[in-house]
Amino acid sequence: MNFEYTDEQKMARDTAREFAKKRLAPLAQKLDEEEHTPRELYAEAAELGFFGILMPEEYGGLGLDHVAYCLVMEEIARACAAFQVCLTVHNSLVSTALLKFGTEEQRKKWLPQLASGAKIAAYSLSEPGAGSDAGSVKCAARLEGGHYVLNGTKSWISSGDVADYFLVFVQTDPALKSRGVSCLFVERNTPGLTVGKKEKKLGIRSSSTNEVHFKDAKVPAANLIGTANEGFKVALTQLDGGRMGIAAQAVGIAQAAFDEAVSYTRQRQQFGKNLADFQATQFKLADMSMKIDAARLLTLRAAALLDGGKKATREASAAKLFASETANQVAYQALQLHGGNGYVREFPVERYFRDARITEIYEGTSEIQRLVISREVLKEAAETAPVAAAR
């Protein structure tokens, strides 16, 4: 096992670190308060190739591996988790779906626009009545001539405000439930598609989260991604990579909170010495640092498996679960170490504490990750050691 990054991975990480430090970190607090990200910032990230990290060069992407992708995602999230959400959804939930399940014609048509960042994409699975039970989507699409006609509502759509395209999971055969779900690539300017209510959130406030409504919206049948009625598998396959991206986000938030805790406790004096000189502080810092290391290693293991062309369902869920719980625990302790100063907006730990919370909710709650992990573990056990039939 090799724990050294390649030159390419280091270069990707350093480019992201520089952009995050110079452009995102100074603005993150202001953007959080304004609940908005200016389009120019996305354009700057696009210039650096961050909308096409995993995309092969033939489609205009950087052609980097999943390890490099996670390093970039961590650095961006360390400065501004809200900005990272847009990138991780665009890269690992949507673009790679076209790469894996699209036809060559679809790839040639859409991937260069996505990889260059000229167009931004959003993933549209959840609905008001289909959150954790994602297979119960009701948004309906009936085939009429050469078009699917869509009716229904999608909710909690990250980047809803800025997206040019939506990867939408629709019900094409209600009798089959999750086995009747199909996946369509839908242009924002489709008549009958409207981007609705923008949510007022606790954290990641500068990223938009919207409802998207369809009323007799006609989408060309040629925009079907993969096979009709097999869209739920596309959704879940994509969530393996997506969960790895959220794990990297959580590591970034945790690292940022930890950095602030170290810096603050080294200069804040109480009872005649720095907080960092108290063993109570040192033990907290030790636990925080160890958990961040473990979360990063789990995330990079999932990335390495995907780079090797292996399935990483259990590993991506484990990384997401552990890293998101770590982000919450570390942000909690970092705030605690700041005392009253941690509770006000002058200090960034207040934002990290709020931003960490969503990592245990989106792309599958911690409870769903436990369900996925336990199912995979039991499946592996049944395959390797079948239980003898009861007498």
User: Catalytic residue numbers?
Assistant: 363
The answer to whether 211 contacts ligand CAA (rule: CB under 6 A) is no
CB distance 153 to 128 below 8 Å: yes
The binder of ligand CAA chosen from 27, 228, 236, 294 (CB under 6 A): 236
CB distance 207 to 35 below 8 Å: no
CB distance 171 to 141 below 8 Å: yes
Least distance from C-beta 312 to ligand CAA, angstroms?
A: 9
CB atoms within 10 A of CB 266: 12
The answer to whether 347 contacts ligand CAA (rule: CB under 6 A) is no
Place of tokens 């598998």: 233
Least distance from C-beta 134 to ligand CAA, angstroms?
A: 4
CB distance 250 to 327 below 8 Å: yes
Least distance from C-beta 94 to ligand CAA, angstroms?
A: 10
CA angle 283, 284, 286 (to 5 degrees): 65
The answer to whether 125 contacts ligand CAA (rule: CB under 6 A) is yes
Select 88 or 326, whichever has its Cβ closest to ligand CAA: 88
CB distance 249 to 85 below 8 Å: yes
The binder of ligand CAA chosen from 56, 63, 112, 135 (CB under 6 A): 135
Select 71 or 85, whichever has its Cβ closest to ligand CAA: 85
The answer to whether 165 contacts ligand CAA (rule: CB under 6 A) is no
The binder of ligand CAA chosen from 178, 206, 208, 328 (CB under 6 A): 178
Site string for ligand CAA, 363-382 (x = CB under 6 A): xx---x--xx----------
Select 87 or 304, whichever has its Cβ closest to ligand CAA: 87
The binder of ligand CAA chosen from 158, 208, 328, 359 (CB under 6 A): 158
The binder of ligand CAA chosen from 6, 103, 132, 227 (CB under 6 A): 132
Measured at CB, which residue is nearest to ligand CAA? 364
Least distance from C-beta 204 to ligand CAA, angstroms?
A: 9
Distance CA 340, CA 338 (A): 6
Distance CA 90, CA 42 (A): 12
Query: How many alpha carbons lie under 13 Å from residue 336 in its C-beta half-sphere?
Result: 11
Least distance from C-beta 86 to ligand CAA, angstroms?
A: 9
Q: How many residues belong to the site for ligand CAA (CB under 6 A)?
A: 25
Helical axes 231-267 vs 313-338, angle rounded to 10°:
30
The answer to whether 6 contacts ligand CAA (rule: CB under 6 A) is no
The binder of ligand CAA chosen from 97, 181, 186, 239 (CB under 6 A): 239
Select 212 or 285, whichever has its Cβ closest to ligand CAA: 212
Distance CA 336, CA 318 (A): 27
Amino acid occupying residue 41:
L
Least distance from C-beta 226 to ligand CAA, angstroms?
A: 12
| Three-state DSSP class for residue 147 | strand
The answer to whether 325 contacts ligand CAA (rule: CB under 6 A) is no
Least distance from C-beta 353 to ligand CAA, angstroms?
A: 19
Q: Cα–chain-centroid distance for residue 384?
A: 33
The answer to whether 108 contacts ligand CAA (rule: CB under 6 A) is no
Distance CA 223, CA 63 (A): 25
Please choose, from the candidates 76, 23, 65, 93, the residue with its C-alpha nearest in 3D space to the C-alpha of residue 362: 93
Please choose, from the candidates 359, 109, 53, 57, the residue with its C-alpha nearest in 3D space to the C-alpha of residue 225: 109
Residues of this chain that bind ligand CAA (CB under 6 A): 85, 89, 123, 125-126, 132, 134-135, 156, 158, 178-179, 232-233, 236-237, 239-240, 313, 362-364, 368, 371-372
